[in-house]
Amino acid sequence: MKLAFFDTKPYDKPGFDEHIAGTDIEIKYFETRLGEDTVQLAKGFDGVCVFVNDTVNEKVINELYDLGVRVIALRCAGFNNVDTKACFGKLHVFRVPAYSPYAVAEHAMALLLTVNRHTNKAYIRTRDFNFSLSGLTGFDLHGKTVGVIGTGKIGRIFAGICKGFGMRVLAYDKFPNPDSGLDYVELPELLRQADVISLHCPLTDETRHMIDADAIAQMKPGVVLVNTSRGGLVDTEALIEGLKCHKIGAACLDVYEEEGDLFYEDCSEEIVADDTLVRLISMPNVIVTSHQAFLTKEALSNIAATTVDNLLKFERGEPSPDTEVCYHCERKETCRKTRDQKCF
Ligand code: NAI
């Protein structure tokens, strides 16, 4: 199998090279992203491997199909950048549902601790021999209420970490897990009570902008918002307004609605044209990381292992119901995945 690997970063290669050793998979690494302008690079390949900011819309999918590509291997969990309906019957799409939920949950806590205790500023100050503490006051997490929205793999681990800090955890999920031991409340109740709100649900039509002006209006003054999930969950303009009027005390953002053209790239020599992001980064109580919550050695190795396994199963024609995405063909009664473990 020949695989075109898009949006390659130096940290991607070691894990993949190790895991394809001894298989018949050959990888050509492209630094460019997959999109309408670059899709022709996939000519002569059987599959493409993509990440969160590659564009896999209907046009790209149809061109991939015409070029003879038959499989899309996402090396991430989320698949909101893939038009899965357009793939149905043409290209099989696999993802890595879990690689290290600990990596993401721990990063969410790292961001919360950083923004609260200002360790980012303290580090810069002491390097300049400025030992003043003015402006570095935080608050005890112990005894505060955290609202966890989305209690899947990552949300539950984050809730556990918060419990370790002595926080009271409230949870909201569209599909509450009765075995999680979590205290579920309706979303408005969570928004009303939480001192810290952390987002851990997927981006769907339903969850897009779930944190909008109306939701922010219901929150406690001074609330800290943490988003390590997907940027589209938050209406960024509403967030900025919330920060400007001090309703939101701080924001920790590993993801951003319009991150596609910027995140993972070095733009330090450029004038960044996205005024919204620049405004956010300029605020002293906002911390932005570049969609890096997943980035641990363990996660990278698991991503490579699962992706290679997905491709080998595809080659052998074996079903992989846990990692092949559902194409939402809407044939509910005759759903083939339910019957045969494969959509097509
Ligand atoms: P998961 O599938 O285990 O859990 C998602 C949870 O969200 C489920 O419990 C589900 O019932 C819930 N949910 C679905 N729709 C909802 C709604 N409308 N309202 C409230 N809850 C809803 O997913 P996992 O592994 O915990 O990942 C969560 C998200 O984290 C992913 O969707 C992805 O967007 C993001 N992520 C971010 C990474 C990063 O590097 N920043 C890395 C990996 C994942």
| pLDDT 10s digits, 216-265 | 999 999 999 999 999 999 999 999 999 999 999 999 999 999 998 899 99
Question: How far is the C-alpha of 86 from the C-alpha of 292, rounded, in Å?
Answer: 29
Report CA(284)–ligand 1 centroid distance (Å). 28
Does residue 186 have a pLDDT over 90?
yes
CA distances to 161, 187, 310 from 210, rounded to whole Å, are: 24, 10, 33
Averaged pLDDT for residues 200-220? 97
Tell me the pLDDT band of 66, cut-offs 50, 70 and 90: very high
pLDDT above 70 coverage of the chain, percent: 99
How big is the chain by its Cα radius of gyration, in Å?
A: 21
pLDDT, the chain, mean: 96
Tell me how far apart the 2 most distant CA atoms of the chain are, in Å.
Answer: 69
Tell me the pLDDT band of 331, cut-offs 50, 70 and 90: confident
Tell me the pLDDT band of 339, cut-offs 50, 70 and 90: confident
pLDDT of residue 180: 94
Please name the residue that has the structure tokens 């003015």: 134
Question: How far is the C-alpha of 230 from the C-alpha of 131, rounded, in Å?
Answer: 37
30 three-class SS: coil
Spatial contact of 4 and 50, defined as CB atoms under 8 Å apart: no
Please name the residue that has the structure tokens 């819309």: 57
Report CA(136)–ligand 1 centroid distance (Å). 32
Spatial contact of 252 and 293, defined as CB atoms under 8 Å apart: no
User: Does the Cβ of 116 fall within 6 Å of ligand 1?
Assistant: no
Q: Which atom of ligand 1 is nearest to the CA of 80?
A: 34
Parallel, antiparallel, or unpaired for β 168-172 and 92-94? unpaired
Does residue 336 have a pLDDT over 90?
no
pLDDT of residue 90: 95
Please name the residue that has the structure tokens 């290669």: 13
Question: How far is the C-alpha of 142 from the C-alpha of 91, rounded, in Å?
Answer: 49
Does residue 329 have a pLDDT over 80?
no
pLDDT of residue 131: 98
> Is 230 tagged catalytic?
yes
